[in-house]
Amino acid sequence: MAATKHHVMIKGVKEGLVFLLDDNCAFEEIIEELHHKLEKTHQKILTGPIIHVHVKLGTRTASAEQKDQIRSIIGQKGNLLIQSIESQAVDPVAILSNTGDVHLVKGIVRSGQTMVKEGNILFLGDVNPGGELISTGSIYVMGSLRGMAHAGVNGNDKSIIAASHLRPTQLRISAIISRPPDEWGMNEAFMEFAYVKDGKMEIDKIHHLHRLVMEP
């Protein structure tokens, strides 16, 4: 029987405890294992004087809600005092900037509206269901992408589409059209991006974006 992979590692350091959270699994698995370890297998650390805790997220980008969940689970144990929740996540905006000039656009694309732009787009706002955002380059949405986005419209299949909250009705990169979102196999909608690999559109967590950019 294969050994179970641990998604939460707890290490003692001079300053207290460090919780190392796996950055390559679903966030729900982290939460489940945190509950299990603090309630079943690691009760001995929950007694005695105050212990300072530092949480390391690896390259995972956690939303404010997800960080609150972590604080709630660890903080409910009276002697564990969270000092920090830190991520070494790659800055997606910086990565996108390395792919060429980025044009900053603000606003909301509402149902029935189509916004067409040239080059790489950093869009500060939401794309609502029924709205369309089209660009000749890559698209990064600092908000919810719940409508349709079409990157690389002139045939650039190296373009990407990324969003803080990625739940579109459809994605297109060059001539490649995405599968329906319920077929992506992703458990979360936060900080994901789409790219083309071997003629097919793939979806991944945005903290893996640097791997794609670094490929020759």
Q: What is the DSSP string of 156-200?
A: -TT--EEEEEE--SEEEETTEEPPPGGGS--S--EEEEEEEETTE
Same domain, 122 and 186: yes
- Identify the sign of the CA torsion 163, 149, 140, 199: positive
CATH of the domain at 109: 2.160.20.70
Would you place residue 126 in the very low, low, confident or very high pLDDT band (cuts 50, 70, 90)?
A: very high
SS3 of 61, please? coil
> Which of 25, 52, 86 lies at the terminal end of a domain, its last residue?
86
Same domain, 186 and 126: yes
> Which of 86, 118, 142 lies at the terminal end of a domain, its last residue?
86
Instruction: Calculate the average pLDDT of the chain.
Output: 82
Pair 133, 149: CB distance under 8 Å? yes
Could you tell me which residue, 6 or 111, shows the higher pLDDT?
111
SS3 of 100, please? coil
Q: What is the pTM of this model?
A: 0.58
How far is residue 214's CA from residue 118's CA, in Å, rounded to a whole number? 24
Could you tell me which residue, 171 or 181, shows the higher pLDDT?
171
> Which of 34, 65, 86 lies at the terminal end of a domain, its last residue?
86
Residues 6+ apart with CB under 8 A from 13: 54
Range of weakest confidence among 45-49, 86-90, 98-102? 98-102
Same domain, 127 and 109: yes
How far is residue 188's CA from residue 194's CA, in Å, rounded to a whole number? 14
Phi then psi for residue 121, to 5 deg, are -115, 130
Same domain, 104 and 168: yes
Q: What's the number of domains the chain is made of?
A: 2
In this structure, which long-range contacts are made by residues 99-106, counting pairs with CB atoms below 8 Å and at least 24 apart in sequence?
Answer: 99/137, 99/138, 99/213, 100/137
Same domain, 73 and 176: no
- CA distances to 14, 21, 82, 108, 177 from 79, in Å: 16, 20, 10, 45, 51
Same domain, 184 and 116: yes
Judged against a pLDDT cut of 80, whether residue 43 lies above it is answered with: no
> Residue 5: left if φ>0, alpha if ψ -120 to 50, beta else—which one?
beta
Same domain, 131 and 187: yes
Q: Which two tokens stand for residue 59?
A: 């390259």
Does 33 map to a domain? yes
Residue 71: which domain range?
Answer: 8-86
Residues 6+ apart with CB under 8 A from 5: 22
Judged against a pLDDT cut of 80, whether residue 16 lies above it is answered with: yes
What local confidence, expressed as pLDDT, does residue 66 receive?
A: 86
